[in-house]
Amino acid sequence: MSDTESYVYRYSWDRDDLLNYTFKEHYVKQPEVLAYLEHVVEKHDLRKHMRFNTAMLSASWDDSTQRWDLTVTGDQKLSAKYVITGLGLLSKQNYPDIPGLDSFKGEMHHTAKWPKGLSLDGKRAGVIGCGSTGVQVITDIGRVVKSLTCFQRHPQYSVPSGDSKVTPEYRQWANDNWDQIFHQVRNSITAFGFKESEISYHDVGPEERERIFEENWQKGNGFRFMFGTFNDVTTDDEANKAACEFIRGKIESTVLDKEKARKLKPYDVYARRPLCDGNASNGEKYYEQFNRDNVDIVDLKETPIEQIEDNGVRTSDGKLHELDVLIFATGFDAVEGNYTRIAIHGRDGLSLKDAWEESGPTSYLGVCVPEFPNLFTITGAKGPFTNIPPAIEVQVEFITEAIALAEKAGAPIIEATHEAEREWSALCEKLAANSLFWKAEDNWIFGANVPGKKRCLRFFFGGLKAYCEKLTECAKNGYAGFKPFAEES
């Protein structure tokens, strides 16, 4: 399930589609996302531009021809003036390095490679990872499996989505307001389609604070709870602690087994990518799953996994958790994962991997990297930390206009300068400096979830509005920060 509400988890540029394409629930699930994308492809006759089962294996910039030479699956060669990557922010799967992984005789699945038609009915399932994906999977399968063992390393704060069927009135409201909806999205921080709070936690008294937390909990959505309650939950210790306390209270009052509740309650700062659990088909939510006798939680801080054996997972207390199916909800080698595994070489043979070795993944405006001319990265390093579809749209608009201008001028070499990239990185650091996210930096946003990755900031935390302003300012100032490319030749 995407935890962005359906009406802003779509393209804004096809008015006819906005008015007529159906979305049944407030949150779209994977099959609907796929069906929507296939529909857009068919409607706009895009399939003719696509090659499937074709991986980019390498890309090298040739200064003499001023083109990119690509090698793709089957050792085929391609030549391109521009390369625009859409490699995905969260796409290269992360598998834990646990001894004995290969000895497991049951089924093993990563959540990002969920097999079609997988039936878990009556099976003994284990889920490793209780992040955004883990909480949704656990919520969905608790009811159908024979037993479910959740292996949790860091407990996190999960807020229910509040998902429900879309009523005709709601749909009519969206249809009457598409302009305002997308105007609000582009002028917001998170681009999630809800109004972000403009009041500080310190502006109101205890009762009002509780009322606001409760109201947003009931409306649902993790991002709404973090950014729609008070404008300082991610920057002010006291506001953050109050949000934590509120959610811990919900866990306490929901989970009847005290031992399970104790394990589920986080005590860290609430400053990771906020979690949002969906509804099971019977309407149950994440924490409610732990009231089932067949669902248990293993606290890996207390009893780490020692090894995986042929019939289950053994933890340090000597217990063997017997399983038929082991599910990895262990996330992704985020942001640069897909870039560094492809041999991308820019000027003078410099590889992207080497270019990012010291600094960590970086860019100018999230879309260009110095020494890599005419390479554009959609959802690249140091792009906006927001709802993704609107961010993709603004990046695509920026890239399209830059290329059109360069083509018109007859000087099609678009390359960011090192100075611009340094300034962009410094701005990203500055904007994130006051964020409490640094206090919980033990996660994928900072590259901490994959051993060996550089620990550093990977996003622009200024919000979509500020990001759009930066792109506009760059274009208005003759593509400042790029080597000149728009002068008529």
Q: What is the DSSP letter of 332?
A: B
Site string for ligand NA7, 287-306 (x = CB under 6 A): -------------x------
Compute the least distance from the CB of residue 297 to ligand NA7, in Å: 12
For ligand NA7, the binding residue among 5, 127, 134, 481 (CB under 6 A) is 134
Compute the least distance from the CB of residue 457 to ligand NA7, in Å: 16
For ligand NA7, the binding residue among 18, 120, 127, 128 (CB under 6 A) is 128
Binders of ligand NA7 among residues 424 to 463 (CB under 6 A) are: 443-444, 449
Compute the least distance from the CB of residue 215 to ligand NA7, in Å: 24
Tell me if 29 sits within 8 A of 3, measured CB to CB: no
Tell me if 34 sits within 8 A of 50, measured CB to CB: no
Task: Using CB positions, name the residue nearest to ligand NA7.
Answer: 131
Compute the least distance from the CB of residue 417 to ligand NA7, in Å: 31
**What's the CA gap between 17 and 447, in Å, rounded?**
37
Tell me if 213 sits within 8 A of 219, measured CB to CB: no
Under the binding rule (CB under 6 A), the answer on residue 100 touching ligand NA7 is no
Compute the least distance from the CB of residue 400 to ligand NA7, in Å: 26
Give every strand in the sheet of 312-315, ordered side by side. Answer: 305-309, 312-315, 320-322
For ligand NA7, the binding residue among 81, 109, 154, 171 (CB under 6 A) is 154
Compute the least distance from the CB of residue 82 to ligand NA7, in Å: 28
- Burial (Cβ within 10 Å: 0-12, 13-18, ≥19) of residue 34: exposed
Q: Which is nearer to ligand NA7, 133 or 374 (CB)?
A: 133
For ligand NA7, the binding residue among 28, 59, 242, 329 (CB under 6 A) is 329
**What's the CA gap between 362 and 424, in Å, rounded?**
9
Listed residue (10, 4, 2) closest to 29, CA to CA:
2
Under the binding rule (CB under 6 A), the answer on residue 273 touching ligand NA7 is yes
Compute the least distance from the CB of residue 134 to ligand NA7, in Å: 5
For ligand NA7, the binding residue among 56, 86, 91, 96 (CB under 6 A) is 96
For ligand NA7, the binding residue among 12, 85, 133, 234 (CB under 6 A) is 133
Under the binding rule (CB under 6 A), the answer on residue 130 touching ligand NA7 is yes
Phi and psi, residue 252, nearest 5°: -55, -45
The count of chain residues that interact with ligand NA7, using the rule CB under 6 A, is 21
Under the binding rule (CB under 6 A), the answer on residue 139 touching ligand NA7 is no
**What's the CA gap between 148 and 141, in Å, rounded?**
8
Listed residue (393, 10, 390, 389) closest to 174, CA to CA:
10
**What's the CA gap between 174 and 180, in Å, rounded?**
9
Q: Which residues pair with 125 in a beta bridge?
A: 148, 325
Which residues lie below 8 Å from residue 325, measured CB to CB, with a gap of 6+? 106, 107, 108, 109, 120, 123, 124, 125, 126
Q: Which two tokens stand for residue 262?
A: 């104790």
Compute the least distance from the CB of residue 278 to ligand NA7, in Å: 13
Under the binding rule (CB under 6 A), the answer on residue 389 touching ligand NA7 is no
- Cα torsion for 131, 132, 133, 137, to the nearest 10°? 90
For ligand NA7, the binding residue among 126, 129, 373, 390 (CB under 6 A) is 129
Under the binding rule (CB under 6 A), the answer on residue 157 touching ligand NA7 is no
Tell me if 192 sits within 8 A of 225, measured CB to CB: no
Stretch of 126-134, 241-249, 290-298, 429-437 lying at the interface with ligand NA7 (CB under 6 A) = 126-134
Stretch of 15-23, 51-59, 149-157, 338-346 lying at the interface with ligand NA7 (CB under 6 A) = 149-157
Stretch of 73-81, 131-139, 210-218, 263-271 lying at the interface with ligand NA7 (CB under 6 A) = 131-139
Cα–Cα distance list, 82 to 62, 368, 400 (Å): 12, 12, 11
Amino acid, single-letter form, for residue 325: V
Amino acid, single-letter form, for residue 142: G
Binding site for ligand NA7 (CB under 6 A): 90, 96, 128-134, 151, 153-154, 273, 300, 329-332, 443-444, 449
